[in-house]
Amino acid sequence: MNLYGLIGFPLSHSFSKKYFAEKFVKEHITGSRYDLYEIPGIKELPGILEQTPGLRGLNVTIPFKQEVIPFLDDLDEASAGRIGAVNTIKIFADGSTKGYNTDYYGFRQSVEEWLDHRGESCANLKALVLGNGGAAKAVCAALTDLKADYQLVSRTSSESALSYEELTSELMQEHRLIINTTPLGMFPKVEAAPPIPYELLNSRHFLYDLVYNPLETAFIQKGKAKGAQTHNGLKMLELQAEKAWEIWTHEEDLWNR
């Protein structure tokens, strides 16, 4: 049995197990299973690897995308190494591990398609990236490659980020693409939303929420109420999951080395 799974805490919001279970049935993939590993600390990862010999790959979600790096043997420099965050781990037959970042691919592909369908592009928009965790790192790398100017926004101001209190009317009108990379609004705390000045939004704004459960978060609802275009994180989830599967199942000969 080839085992795959997701590590994070909490995992009640995750659609990943359902996604892969449906994929295995639809594509007639036998001898494979996807499980959830809800762990309170990343130090439990080595134990999971030791106790689960059939484990071939893991996805990584909040809050471990950066914390997991010291526990891995290798990083894919083109993705995880450059970004500084891991959301996909490949486990080889000898037990060695390698970290990748497929969030980058999922976000880049989905935001490009979404904006293109609306006659826009990242290169023509300035963005506000809400949050400074592992997901934000992947989003910023994608925006850089898409030639989009962006500004980080966090709870406290720093050299690299503005605080929410520093979002002026001028900044809000200048930055028309607003991306929520925080877990605010995620199930079960669905009433939460990033504290941006929603009253300054209008129909020229584009709000992208990486959260996909619920499909319509408070962040998206508040944007819609002001006429903004909105997009949830479901397509990104699907794209990054397919890229992870490609990584896990590529070069099958490696399993027999």
Distance, C-alpha 72 to centroid of its chain: 19
Backbone angles phi, psi at 37, to 5 degrees: -120, 90
Nearest to 63 by CA among 11, 130, 128: 11
- Antiparallel, parallel or unpaired: β 88-91 and 55-60: antiparallel
Nearest to 171 by CA among 195, 199, 151, 157: 151
Nearest to 180 by CA among 133, 142, 227: 133
Backbone angles phi, psi at 88, to 5 degrees: -140, 130
Backbone angles phi, psi at 33, to 5 degrees: -145, 145
**Beta bridge partner(s), residue 206:** 177, 229
The answer to whether the CB of 248 falls within 8 A of the CB of 90 is yes
65 is catalytic: yes
Residue among 18, 26, 43, 65 flagged as catalytic? 65
For the annotated catalytic residues, the residue numbers are 65
